[in-house]
Structure 1
Amino acid sequence: MLVSFSLKNWKSYKEESELNMVADRSRQHTQTLASNPYYRGLKILPVAAVYGGNAAGKSNLFSALRYVQNFVTNGEISSFTTGVQPFLSKEGRKEPTSFSIKILVKQPKNVKNLNPSRGSKQTELIYQLDFKLNQVQVLSESLSWYNSKQEKQQLYSRDAKGTVTFSDKVKDFIGDDRILLEACAKGTGPRRLFLTNTVNQQLSIFQPVYDWFKNYLRTADNSTEYLGVGPLMNNQTYCDHFSDILKSLDTGIEEIKLESVDSSALGLPPQILEEIASSIGKNSMVQLVNHAQGEIAPLQIFIISKKTKDNQDNEENNIEDNNLLIQRVQTYRRGLPLGFNNESTGTRRLFELLPIFLSLWNNEPCVWILDEVEREFHTGLTRKILQEFLNSCTEDTRTQVLINTHDLMLMDQDIFRKDEILITERDRKGVSHLISLGEFAGIRNDLDLRNSYLEGRFGGLPEFDDTAFEEAVEDFSLQAKEQSSLKPEADKPDERGKKEGC
């Protein structure tokens, strides 16, 4: 789980800002908070909803998390740059960018416990990864863990010269691996984390931390095609459940199926089909999504797999389609096929997002980052989806979802705790600031948060210059009229020619 994340000098965040997922002492919705007996008193929030005006910094916050995930799991962005995006100013370009992320990590049974102070092995430990970098190199890096008193215990640190220093307890713990780790430290490039390099060199001491970034932190934004649809649709039981869920959410869909089509439905050249055929294994599949120009929701979803004796149609199709079974998602209303492409954009987007929502409802251990979760959805549908997730959360749940949203109908204490709602605001210098409603004093549990927000109590509202806006619109209208008057009149028919033509 994500415990906290802070950033500094990243895009619109010039000063240090923190997304804190540790619950305060509020008694709201305490049954949804996650806990661990080793860390007594620590309660972790299952959700964070980030509000703010357009360009206030909501997406920039999530892009920082995506950057950290990519930098940890993939290492250097290129041979020439770290790819970091500092605050857009002369000072911002000169100053380093820093990240600090604290996470609750499951400890694999086959990995020796990094906590040398206790004889019993802990199933989960809190780690903190800090690193600072500029466009050229990593300037500092450190990894720490927290004991039962939540005291920080450093495992290693790395300086700008690339020198890695291990703590005394770690030196005793790593034993014979110390020589390999020191060699790995010397071989870590300037645009790569030491943590990443240890895993690449098959040294498993920090593997649980790396695996959290690779397997448990999951992001989805407006450009993501959610490839979980294919495997679920290919299973008839899941397909039936999909139909039931879509029907219950008032989409009008009675049933969804996979229908077989030939290769012409894909509209792909033969050489591309051959490449797809060669890339698909015996028990694997490929999902293709067809979009209309300018649309994000898919028009059609195709699932392609190898034909087998059980599903092949005939020899002619085998030759024509490179021995591929091509199936298209089809929706039915009143017993008749409507066509997925004829469904509303909201229904099509819901269909794509359902695998993500299923992972939330099933409490799959992960942290989902969702941009504009309410886009194309009625507010009642978004509320239903989130409420279903929160109703399933207990102290043992290890599922979280981070959303940014403009849907004020969700700013409701019947859904969220105060410390689960955050506001982003950009000041006159273009600097974004992040604050939790839990930090505001005097917010009663029965307070209408929407009205208070719209009244400006929490900030985060767009500031309009009404005079400048009206003048700009007026100037634009005048310019448009002038341009229109300068256009040559359409050629009028010659009166004489008109008579001659009669």
Structure 2
Amino acid sequence: MLIRFEASNYRSIAEGVELSMVAVDRDREAAREVPHLGESLLTLAAVYGPNASGKSNIVGALAWLRDAVEDSLRFWEDGIPLEPFVFGTGPEETSEFVIEATIDGVRFEYVVELDANQIRYEGLFHYPEKKRRRIFEREGLELKLQRGLGALSGTRELLTDRTLALSVARRFDVPLVANFAREILRIQVLGQTLVNGSPGFLFGGRRPRSRRGGRATTLWFDKPDDDQPSLFSSVEEDGKWPTLNRREQALALLRLADLGIEDVVIDEQEVVYSSSGDTRTQRRLRLVHRSGGSATPIEFSAESEGTRTWFRLIGPVLTALQSGSMVIFDELDASLHPTLSAELLRVFRSPVTNPHGAQLIFTSHDTSLLNHLNRDEVWLTEKRLDGSTRLGALAEFAGERVRKSQNLENAYLHGRFGALPQVDQTEFLRALGLIG
């Protein structure tokens, strides 16, 4: 589970910002105790703030780091695709990313400092028996390894100025490194805008790739596995949940949205191309709607954006719940009805549906969701005068502890926590000639 994430000098982030998943209020189901850490970690975190305040850049920084671990060895030969803060000295400064997470109860810390031309510093550490120990550490091309990790010595031969040591070392399948890298790569990123600002639904960072979203949703329907165990380990009245195969699990989550959809049909159809006259077989996805006593399959492209969004997130969400991994969702409210968004929060909060501690981190403008969030699950962004992003925890807003019982939506809308757009119509009215 993610403990905390820091980033500096990335897009609108100038000074370092920190997003922490450590619970303030530990006596509730969304806070999962981690014995060796001595803290409880949250399964939910929401980032709120005005447009252009940097919400997407907060989650985008975490998505960038995930992509970096996967891509640096193959795609960074000609340069590091880094976007530093454009004002002041940002372009001349290095960027830094820090991530801490627990894996099998052990705390790991990964740090990387780099610019567009080279990786200046990189280190991976763990805390067995609560003491910090180096796994590897590099400055420039000089790499130091923990004693006993000779199997990673081949990393030095593949290391370049623009290659992350973690990207190389994970390929040697040493559990201490491979397990941490796998945890980073299991992060799934969803949203209405790509990290580079292009429109469209995405699974991943700079470019959409189906593997970035874990198992594509269609695979959960297309290739059922009767031996697949249930995601859920909680009990019902009969003592245990029935074992469900993948298809049944996916259908259950689809029906949870109460969209009137009874089933999913994936088959093949022949398509004749008018330009060439060629006939080709093409996969077809249809959702079966029940109306009265009849069932009608409807083409997926004809469904509403909200229905398509809910369908697309089923695979990534089920994958996260099954593996205890993380889902990042930029602009959760853009295509989902508030009721569905709230239902998604319940799925991640409950130990019944989320027994392995999967985490959902999302950005939103939907203030109604604040009624479904605790004070330590909400983070606020504001745009400073220099154009940079400030990130603050609502639980400790402006140095004052926010009451656990406070109505967060009402307080937010009344400006109690700031992070609201400052609307001034004066210039607009003057341009219209309505005032002098």
Q: Which category describes the TM-score, using the shorter chain as reference length? A: 0.7 to 0.9
Match 1:164 to one of 143, 150, 157: 143
Give secondary structure in 2 for the equivalent of 1:15: coil
Instruction: Please give the residue correspondences for 1:45-444 in structure 2 after superposition, counting only pairs within 5 Å.
Output: 45-76=42-73, 77-106=75-104, 124-149=105-130, 151-160=131-140, 162-166=141-145, 170-171=146-147, 173-174=148-149, 177=150, 181=153, 184-185=155-156, 187-200=158-171, 206-214=177-185, 216-222=186-192, 223-224=201-202, 228-235=216-223, 239=247, 242=250, 245-264=253-272, 321=280, 326-334=283-291, 335-337=294-296, 339-340=298-299, 341-359=301-319, 362-392=321-351, 397-412=356-371, 415-440=372-397, 441-444=400-403
State how far apart, in whole Å, the 2-side matches of 1:418 and 1:201 are: 42
State how far apart, in whole Å, the 2-side matches of 1:250 and 1:461 are: 33
> 1:426 and 1:410, CA in 2 relative to 1: closer, same or farther beyond 3 A?
same
> 1:238 and 1:329, CA in 2 relative to 1: closer, same or farther beyond 3 A?
farther
Give secondary structure in 2 for the equivalent of 1:141: strand
Q: How far 1:352 sits from its partner (Å)?
A: 1.8
Q: How far 1:204 sits from its partner (Å)?
A: 5.7
Which residue does the alignment assign to 2:35? Answer: 37
Which residue does the alignment assign to 2:405? Answer: 446
State how far apart, in whole Å, the 1-side matches of 2:36 and 2:353 are: 17
> 1:363 and 1:33, CA in 2 relative to 1: closer, same or farther beyond 3 A?
farther
State how far apart, in whole Å, the 2-side matches of 1:243 and 1:70 are: 30
CA contact (8 A) 2:375 2:408 kept: no
Which residue does the alignment assign to 1:285? Answer: none
Give, as a single letter, the amino acid of the residue that structure 2 aligns with 1:221: G
Give, as a single letter, the amino acid of the residue that structure 1 aligns with 2:216: G
Q: How far 1:129 sits from its partner (Å)?
A: 0.8
State how far apart, in whole Å, the 2-side matches of 1:186 and 1:259 are: 48
Q: How far 1:75 sits from its partner (Å)?
A: 1.4
Deviations 1:227-259 (A, max 9, x none): 622212225765566556545533233443235
> 1:94 and 1:229, CA in 2 relative to 1: closer, same or farther beyond 3 A?
same
Deviations 1:183-210 (A, max 9, x none): 5325410011122222345666522222
State how far apart, in whole Å, the 1-side matches of 2:287 and 2:164 are: 46
> 1:342 and 1:202, CA in 2 relative to 1: closer, same or farther beyond 3 A?
closer
Deviations 1:326-383 (A, max 9, x none): 34324333224252343322122222222233345x4532111111122222212211
State how far apart, in whole Å, the 2-side matches of 1:344 and 1:466 are: 35
> 1:203 and 1:254, CA in 2 relative to 1: closer, same or farther beyond 3 A?
closer
Scaled by the length of structure 2, the TM-score of the pair is 0.81
Give, as a single letter, the amino acid of the residue that structure 1 aligns with 2:290: R
> 1:452 and 1:260, CA in 2 relative to 1: closer, same or farther beyond 3 A?
same
Give secondary structure in 1 for the equivalent of 2:313: helix
State how far apart, in whole Å, the 2-side matches of 1:393 and 1:56 are: 36
Structure 2: runs of 5 or more not aligned = 193-200, 204-212, 225-244
> 1:258 and 1:50, CA in 2 relative to 1: closer, same or farther beyond 3 A?
same
CA contact (8 A) 1:2 1:103 kept: yes
> 1:268 and 1:339, CA in 2 relative to 1: closer, same or farther beyond 3 A?
farther
CA contact (8 A) 2:47 2:363 kept: yes
> 1:394 and 1:128, CA in 2 relative to 1: closer, same or farther beyond 3 A?
farther
Q: How far 1:94 sits from its partner (Å)?
A: 0.8
State how far apart, in whole Å, the 1-side matches of 2:114 and 2:353 are: 38
State how far apart, in whole Å, the 2-side matches of 1:442 and 1:190 are: 45
Give secondary structure in 2 for the equivalent of 1:50: strand
CA contact (8 A) 2:76 2:163 kept: no
Deviations 1:274-294 (A, max 9, x none): xxxxxxxxxxxxxxxxxxxxx
State how far apart, in whole Å, the 2-side matches of 1:185 and 1:91 are: 33
> 1:184 and 1:235, CA in 2 relative to 1: closer, same or farther beyond 3 A?
closer
> 1:228 and 1:22, CA in 2 relative to 1: closer, same or farther beyond 3 A?
same
Deviations 1:299-333 (A, max 9, x none): xxxxxxxxxxxxxxxxxxxxx54xx5734324333
Q: How far 1:63 sits from its partner (Å)?
A: 1.3
Give, as a single letter, the amino acid of the residue that structure 1 aligns with 2:36: Y
Deviations 1:87-137 (A, max 9, x none): 01240011100111111124xxxxxxxxxxxxxxxxx32111111111110
Give, as a single letter, the amino acid of the residue that structure 1 aligns with 2:3: V
Count, aligned residues: 391
> 1:330 and 1:92, CA in 2 relative to 1: closer, same or farther beyond 3 A?
same
Deviations 1:21-71 (A, max 9, x none): 1112x2452x332233333x2211111011111111111111111111111
State how far apart, in whole Å, the 2-side matches of 1:450 and 1:44 are: 23
> 1:393 and 1:61, CA in 2 relative to 1: closer, same or farther beyond 3 A?
farther
Give, as a single letter, the amino acid of the residue that structure 2 aligns with 1:434: L
Give, as a single letter, the amino acid of the residue that structure 2 aligns with 1:143: L
CA contact (8 A) 1:33 1:394 kept: no
CA contact (8 A) 1:32 1:394 kept: no
State how far apart, in whole Å, the 2-side matches of 1:8 and 1:27 are: 29
Give secondary structure in 2 for the equivalent of 1:6: strand
Q: How far 1:411 sits from its partner (Å)?
A: 0.7
Q: Equivalent pairs: percent with the same residue?
A: 25
